[in-house]
Amino acid sequence: MEQSSTSALLQGTVLDLASDVVSALRSGDHVRAGSTLTGGGAGEGVARAAVRVLGADTLLPSVLLGVPPGPGQLAVFKDAVAAHPPRDDAAPAVVWSHWAMTRALRRTGPSPDGPPSDGTGAEPDARWLDGAGWQFLTHQLAVLAPLALPGEECAVTRVARGRPVDVARGFVRAVRRRDWQQAAGAGRWLTLLDGVPDTLGLEAGLDFVRLMGGSDPRVALQLEAARLMPAAVLL
């Protein structure tokens, strides 16, 4: 009972946080991006966990639009990175999502007169994607959609670059399965990849995902990222 109520609270906070990010991406207002974190609606532990779940995308407005994160938002983000490191036996997606957060911190939150806020930065390996079927590949890429950023390199990005047709197939499969979150995440990756078949009709496909699943803020977040990324230049 406790577990389910906590999960529901966490899910609700993740959705609120994603809504904030979507608003910020649409308006360019970083204050909105952190309003759930600084508004006191969720307890600190739940807010930290929600930031860990939403991952590096919590700072996406700062990364894509160049607006600095609010101090309170940045503090919670740092706390989330520190409080929820991956366990030794964590799944690769968990390890990579944490790495993505540390990368986002390095990009947006270096101390003004010191080294980057995180001294590590060693990249995990992407061997678990070697020879992965296109369905599994697309699922994992969608889970790791925060890694899909223009001008950013990592092992997962290199795997995705090598398999644009497989990601396109995965996108179509996700749409046909009504898995809007996976479709939106895969679509975000596809906006970054060369060699995506024109016959996919990515733009119309993303419009369709928005029409069908855009009421979920996590889906809307990926769609906003996909919309902004082609024009975005990272700082």
Residues that bind other proteins (CB under 8 A): 2-3, 6-7, 9-11, 14, 43-46, 48-49, 52-53, 55, 84, 87, 90-91, 93-94, 97, 135, 139, 143, 172, 175-179, 182, 199-201, 204-205, 207-208, 211-212
Least distance CB 34 / other proteins (angstroms): 20
Query: Which residue number, 38 or 135, has a Cβ lying nearer to other proteins?
Result: 135
49 vs 129, which CB is nearer to other proteins? 49
- Residue (7 or 27) nearer to other proteins, CB: 7
Burial class (CB in 10 A: 0-12, 13-18, 19+), 24: buried
**Rounded Cα distance, 227 and 158, in Å:** 21
Shortest Å, Cβ 217 to other proteins: 15
Report in angstroms how near the CB of residue 130 gets to other proteins at its nearest: 18
Nearer to other proteins (CB atom), residue 116 or residue 124: 124
Inter-residue contact 32 to 20 (CB < 8 Å): yes
CB closer to other proteins, 11 vs 27: 11
Interatomic CA distance for residues 139 and 174, integer angstroms: 9
Of the candidates 169, 168, 167, 170, the residue with the CA atom closest to the CA atom of residue 156: 167
Q: How far is the CB of 30 from other proteins (least distance, A)?
A: 25
* Nearest distance from C-beta of residue 65 to other proteins, angstroms: 25
Those residues with Cβ within 8 angstroms of residue 171's Cβ, 6 or more apart along the chain or in another chain: 138, 183, 186, 187, 190, 200, 202, 205
Burial class (CB in 10 A: 0-12, 13-18, 19+), 94: middle
